[in-house]
Structure 1
Amino acid sequence: MTLTDTAAAVPARRPLPAEERHATELAFLAAHDEGPRPPGWRLTPRSVITFVCGSDGESLKLPGPHGTLPGRLVIAPKFVGERAMVERCVVTLAGERGLLLVGEPGTAKSMLSELLAAAVCGTSSLTVQGTAGTTEDALRYGWNYALLLAQGPSPEALVDSPVLSAMRAGQVARVEEITRCLPEVQDALVSILSDRRTSVPELSGTDHAHVAAAPGFTVIATANLRDRGVSEMSAALKRRFNFESVHAIPDADAETALVRRQAGAAVERAGAAYAVDDAVLDVLVTVFRDLRAGRSAEGWTVERPGTVMSTAEAVQVAVSLGVAAAYLPGGDLLDLVPGHLLGVVRKDDPADHARLLGYWDGPVRRRAEDGSALWRRLWDLRETLR
């Protein structure tokens, strides 16, 4: 059977939400730690942290009969970052206070939000994607207009937003890119987070005119630092959130491992095996880290591009290399790296093209001169950046 036949025989899989991808780990942790849980929580706060950060290679053992669950399990790390920051996030949620994750684009804020929601309440699907077109209905409620016209305002005609659904069930609502929403839309959250209830004036005089949040309800929002000033949050709304900054991965080996893992999963969903050489991946991640930091690993100064050289962008380039290796075999993957890098840096500022060339004339050339065969090959590809 050819590669094409194999890909056709195995349909590409959709990305699963965290609660489905890691269902075994979540069930195992629920049985492993029987300690006290905040109201409405599926796991103990300690187990939520273990789920997100991993068990440090330790094989955890269930205390009693385990049915279909494995008796022992190593919990894999899913978020690469500061454990203390994750602990603060969990404490914030346990106190039923809003959590706002801020940072540069591509620092896995959304992934952390999804993992926390899945671990705390078992679902990460109660999500509002913030945009300039997001309306207040997305944070409060809307109407089934056919029922509204037929019978007037009624509980049956009410359509809950993800936030209202989370309030009723005592779960976690997620608001992505909150600063993309207009300020008047954002402020719909002020009374929800402070009073933990929302009013439905159209149902005034009935038992359904007010919805009080069940224990366990809270909100996790995310915001990109690059969007600061797009729709500035009001002081009143800021006071309702605890802010936590999510930074780029400090360790090169950890970032490389994450890129390999995420890209491998994405290529597998595309119906192919991941076959990017580790040496090529190391070069790719090194370039991203150098340009992001404005300084090479050796300490040489690098002019930073205006665009964000995030881990998420590195994953996308690694995915492209993996797909090329699977479906367009025969070439040297390193030959494709300059073109993909150029596609990344051209997104915001045309002057970034010159900055990428400057990087080639600096660290790439110096590493080539130091005798590295891979960097020599990359230096020889400079003309492809023209």
Structure 2
Amino acid sequence: MTSVLRPHAEDQFADELTILAKTDDRPRPPGWRLSPWAVTTYVLGDGGQITPKYIGPRRIVEVAVATLATDRALLLLGVPGTAKTWLSEHLAAAISGDSTLLVQGTAGTAEEAVRYGWNYARLLSEGPSRGALTPSPVMRAMAEGRLARVEELTRMPSDVQDALITLLSEKTLPIAELGEEVQAAKGFNVIATANDRDRGVNDLSSALRRRFNTVVLPVPASTEEEVGIVARRVAQLGRALELPETVTGMEEIRRVVTVFRELRAGVTSDGRTKVKSPSGTLSTAEAISVVTNGIVLAAHFGDGVLRPADVAGGIVGAVVQDPVSDRVVWQEYLETVVRDRDDWRDFYRACRDAG
């Protein structure tokens, strides 16, 4: 797996899953590889051999795991960058040992992605048959008793969304052409994700919403929590990308996180100054990207120490999505907030130069 840029969660953390499986003596739902308690431990970590994959309220993870042990599907809802996809992947890895049964929702997603399609060469030569049928990831999950993942559910057309209703309520997928059906094996369920900002794109019908238990993933509650998430994820990416050794300055990570949080909230961290918010989301995921890019700059074009100049360009690029309105917001924030902070002078000059 050393040649793989991004191993699946079940491969990357196989050792941790093995440790938990050997010591897990709690009741396991049918078809699960770990008990709900062990799945939650895998996701949140135990302070020792099991590293945290998601940083957030424990109760949120417990509710999500408990939902998957029932006959209701799980919908992870939140603004972009709140680790919905990341959490769904790790839940599938811990419960089913397979996070690859994935349907990516887009405006062009067809019903075959949820139900099944056909190998038309075989369909023409031998007619409708099991051999000519191409199962979707959801159909495979039903037959094998695993979890299927549906990303960006609200971006899928409404008629494709509604194809999930029978699957989730009856736990059966009819194959009308063959006069057969696939019944879900124990262990089958669905994890879907959707963004808060996508409301109105293709809203879920009330019938489909009733099949899901919705869990809202919040943004990190505090600056310290978000700094910890960014630092941990940046370190993981650095190892995966085999980046040269650098001195990762926590001060620069804290500045990036502080800028993003203040612009998101529309007020400075001390609550004294209101600021305008740009059009972008400025999520934790984007902060991770900015810092990772800065580390690459420091390693290959600097002295190996993460400095303000290494992150300034990434911050400006993340904030200024609209070249007109966002640039005004950024310049105002830079001149009224950043410039007045005595210990941010190097950061101010670097951002001004980058802009």
* Deviation for aligned residue 1:141: 0.4
1:18 aligns with 2:32: no
Q: Which residue of 321, 332, 347 maps to 1:378?
A: 347
Equivalent-residue separation in structure 2 for 1:172 and 1:349 (angstroms): 42
Equivalent-residue separation in structure 2 for 1:348 and 1:200 (angstroms): 48
Equivalent-residue separation in structure 1 for 2:35 and 2:188 (angstroms): 16
Equivalent-residue separation in structure 2 for 1:232 and 1:157 (angstroms): 34
SS in 1 for 2:294: helix
What letter matches 1:265 in structure 2? Q
* Deviation for aligned residue 1:385: 5.2
Tell me which residue corresponds to 1:281: 253
State the identity as a percent.
45
Contact 1:268 1:274 in 2 (8 A): no
Measured at CA, do residues 383 and 46 of structure 1 come closer, stay the same or move farther in structure 2, by a change above 3 Å? Answer: closer
What letter matches 2:232 in structure 1? R
1:226 aligns with 2:197: yes
Q: Which residue of 101, 107, 115 maps to 1:140?
A: 115
Contact 1:335 1:381 in 2 (8 A): yes
Equivalent-residue separation in structure 1 for 2:169 and 2:4 (angstroms): 41
SS in 2 for 1:302: coil
What letter matches 1:228 in structure 2? R
Measured at CA, do residues 348 and 106 of structure 1 come closer, stay the same or move farther in structure 2, by a change above 3 Å? Answer: farther
Equivalent-residue separation in structure 2 for 1:269 and 1:33 (angstroms): 29
What letter matches 1:350 in structure 2? V
Measured at CA, do residues 28 and 220 of structure 1 come closer, stay the same or move farther in structure 2, by a change above 3 Å? Answer: same
* Deviation for aligned residue 1:380: 2.7
Tell me which residue corresponds to 2:287: 314
Q: Which residue of 77, 93, 96 maps to 1:118?
A: 93
Mapping of residues 1-386 of structure 1, within 5 Å: 13-55=4-46, 57=47, 59=48, 74-204=49-179, 209-275=180-246, 276-299=248-271, 300-330=273-303, 333-348=307-322, 350-368=324-342, 372=343, 375-381=344-350, 383-384=352-353, 386=355
SS in 2 for 1:301: coil
* TM-score when normalising by structure 1: 0.87
Deviation per residue, 1:204-250 (Å, 9 max, x gap):
2xxxx101000110000000111111111111111100011011111
Equivalent-residue separation in structure 2 for 1:268 and 1:32 (angstroms): 28
**Structure 1: runs of 5 or more not aligned:** 1-10, 60-73
Contact 2:278 2:320 in 1 (8 A): no
* Deviation for aligned residue 1:383: 3.4
What letter matches 1:151 in structure 2? E
**Greater C-alpha radius of gyration:** 1
* TM-score when normalising by structure 2: 0.94
What letter matches 1:252 in structure 2? T
Equivalent-residue separation in structure 2 for 1:97 and 1:33 (angstroms): 25
Measured at CA, do residues 384 and 127 of structure 1 come closer, stay the same or move farther in structure 2, by a change above 3 Å? Answer: same
- Over aligned residue pairs, what C-alpha RMSD do you find? 1.7
SS in 1 for 2:192: strand
SS in 2 for 1:366: coil
* Deviation for aligned residue 1:264: 2.5
Deviation per residue, 1:164-220 (Å, 9 max, x gap):
00000111000000111000011110000000001111102xxxx101000110000
Equivalent-residue separation in structure 2 for 1:332 and 1:127 (angstroms): 37
* Deviation for aligned residue 1:336: 3.5
SS in 2 for 1:265: helix
Tell me which residue corresponds to 1:68: none
Equivalent-residue separation in structure 2 for 1:274 and 1:248 (angstroms): 30
* Deviation for aligned residue 1:76: 1.4
What letter matches 1:345 in structure 2? V
Measured at CA, do residues 161 and 332 of structure 1 come closer, stay the same or move farther in structure 2, by a change above 3 Å? Answer: closer
Equivalent-residue separation in structure 2 for 1:27 and 1:157 (angstroms): 37
SS in 2 for 1:230: coil
Tell me which residue corresponds to 1:66: none
Count of residues in Structure 1 that have an aligned counterpart in Structure 2: 351
Equivalent-residue separation in structure 1 for 2:22 and 2:350 (angstroms): 55
Deviation per residue, 1:90-125 (Å, 9 max, x gap):
110011311000110011000010111111111110
Equivalent-residue separation in structure 2 for 1:258 and 1:140 (angstroms): 37
